[in-house]
Amino acid sequence: MKTPHSALVAGIRAPTLPGANGKGRIAHRFLILPLLFVASFLPMARADAATSPAITVSTTAHGIKLTLVVPSRIFPANALVRFTVRVHNVSHHTVLTLLGPQCLDNSPSIEVLDDSGNVTSQFPPKADMPPCPIPRGEPLLRGKSVTQQVLAIVNGASVRAVLPVGRRRLAQQVVTPKVAVGGAESVPRTVAIHQLNGNPFAVVTRPATAHGPLYVKDSTYCGAATGGASLSANLTWHRVKGDRVYSGCAGPQQWHGFAGYLNFPVVSIDYSAS
């Protein structure tokens, strides 16, 4: 008598049990195959978790739930990273919040902290800062939420999201817990400056594995050609086409900024006519 194929695959001989009609019937007991089937999915689950390293933290204060999503815990020093920040009004009334692009930053903003807990600068050291008006609060209706993508240079050991809530100078801050990102505070590499008809520009070479456009924040002190003085500043991150960055005016006296591609270290623009 041949052993049934299913019993061979299961690794045991299927027992013969008496049936209702008096004849023997075979009960195929697949004991090992189901275990192998289940076990085959376990490594896949671990691999999926390893390839999904995003970290989410949140806090609730002043009627606002503020959530920060960090895409990874490890970045190269001075990497330009895009974070996701969600603002949700969990109160029973409208809350004034500072949302959207501001004079020198986005709100909510990303703060990067060094090993001592000090907030690192997101601006070029020599950049001229324009005067900024007092920001106005925007009403966020109860139950409503807003999600924003915020860029920041990871030039420190941890990050957190910050959102001012309330009226102007009386605003209070909602701050998420810190997330360690394994970064380090260091000075970005300075990019070479070229000249075209007396006007400076920089070429920021795209890394082979980079995706997306080139981002820039810079300020230009103009007036060298005319003897006048004016400031052209765009110190919030903005996209540019191609890999060239141009100053904000012809014949500038000073031009300082940062430029870079997502998830790669930024470079520093440092130009002086004198």
Query: Among 139, 162, 180, which residue terminates a domain?
Result: 180
Claim to verify: residue 11 and residue 125 sit in the same structural domain: no
162/202 same-domain check: no
At 216, which CATH number?
2.60.40
Q: What is the pLDDT of residues 177-209, one digit of tens each?
A: 999 997 666 778 999 999 988 889 999 999 999
Beta carbons within 10 angstroms of residue 100's beta carbon:
12
Average pLDDT along the chain? 79
| Domain co-membership, 16 together with 125 | no
Q: Determine the structural domain holding residue 32 and report its residue range.
A: 5-50
133 token code pair = 């008006």
Domain boundary among 148, 180, 212: 180
Domain count, the chain: 3
> Is the pLDDT confidence value at 26 over 80?
no
Q: Whole-angstrom Cα distance, residue 95 to residue 167?
A: 10
Verify that 220 and 132 share a domain, yes or no.
Answer: no
pTM over 0.95: no
**% of the chain exceeding 90 in pLDDT:** 51
Element (H, E) at 34: helix 33-39
pLDDT tens-digit readout, 236-267: 899 999 999 999 888 888 999 999 999 999 99
Q: How far apart are CA 78 and CA 141, in angstroms?
A: 37
> Residue 237 is inside which H or E element, if any?
strand 230-240
Higher-scoring residue by pLDDT: 223, 80:
80
Q: Residue 72: exposed, middle, or buried by beta-carbon count in 10 A (0-12, 13-18, 19+)?
A: middle
Question: 3-class DSSP state for residue 149?
Answer: strand
133 and 244 together in one domain: no
- For residues 155 and 251, state if they share a domain: no
